[in-house]
Amino acid sequence: MTTDNAPDDSAGTVGVQHDGPVLRLTLDRAQRRNALSPAMLDTLVATLTDAATDPAVRVIHLRGTGGDFCSGVDWVATNTTGERPPTGDLVRRIPHTAHRVVELVHALHLPVVCTVRGWAAGLGCNLAIAADFTLADTDAVFWEPFLPRGFSPDSGSTWLLPRLVGVARAKRMLLLGEQVGAAAAAEWGLIHEATTPGDLDRATDELLDRLACAPTVAFGLAKQAVHRNLRTGLTEAMDNELYALELACRTADFKEGLAAFRQRRDPAFRGR
């Protein structure tokens, strides 16, 4: 959700860069605090979908240009055409755009790292908290601006927030529209880490390097098990773990991990 009332004609772009095993997706619409246009959402959906089956990609990095990460969907621009959207437009369209991006970030069998500067609002906030690891500098702000703008929350916020920070804090963000700074977000468990601005890129690169060398298949299986087991009892959770373990033990990285342990060296995982 943008906090600026002036519409902008520029649709913006999403930079897509393959940096070895790291796929970098850069929201590039700084003049609108990287508010997401329909074209940008389409690019994110297509690129993340392709990454899911690309064996060369082992970690995804999501970031924004300029001083902000993302101010959400550009509702101002999409609602200043003078034409009222037809009934059912949101129900038909949004599951394939904004909601699909959140689903992909949350469910991909790949680690997703998000770097946040400045605003992470609306869909921007939900993308950040759907990522596996979000790092933010100390001036970053996480905000769910739906109620203060007169409409109800979406893009997974009512599902993600209670699971991350509990119901009471989720209500503070969703129902009262409270803005949360990076230090509090890290303390609450909303994000992975809050850093000083000068350390943000270094900390992000270190984490990306670590994940790019991780056993990618096992990571994806473990991520899936964590998410599934939030909604199960202990017995079903252990069944899910056993299924994941059976698959992980068939990977080349499992054999490499055992060999490295026996030889007292660091493993050289290949993500397969």
108 assigned to some structural domain: yes
Rounded Cα distance, 178 and 190, in Å: 14
SS3 of residue 165 by DSSP: helix
Q: What percent of the chain is predicted at pLDDT more than 70?
A: 93
Which tokens go with 226? 């964590």
User: Do residues 206 and 237 both lie within one domain?
Assistant: no
What distances in angstroms separate CA 92 from CA 28, 43, 85, 124, 163, one per listed residue? 27, 19, 12, 21, 27
Rounded Cα distance, 164 and 249, in Å: 30
The CA-CA-CA angle for residues 169, 171, 175, to 5°, reads 140
Under the banding of pLDDT at 50, 70 and 90, the label for residue 5 is very low
pTM: predicted TM-score of the whole model, two decimal places: 0.91
pLDDT tens-digit series, residues 111-123: 999 999 999 999 9
The dihedral region occupied by 161, where left means phi > 0, alpha psi between -120 and 50, and beta the remainder, is alpha
67 assigned to some structural domain: yes
Domain that holds residue 145: 13-212
Lowest mean pLDDT among 90-94, 98-102, 224-228: 90-94
pLDDT tens-digit series, residues 242-264: 999 999 999 999 999 999 999 99
Of 212, 234, 252, the domain-final residue: 212
Rounded Cα distance, 128 and 30, in Å: 17
User: What is the number of domains present in the chain?
Assistant: 2
User: Do residues 69 and 97 both lie within one domain?
Assistant: yes
Q: How far apart are the first and last CA of the chain?
A: 39
Indicate which CATH number applies to the domain containing 22: 3.90.226.10
User: Do residues 120 and 74 both lie within one domain?
Assistant: yes
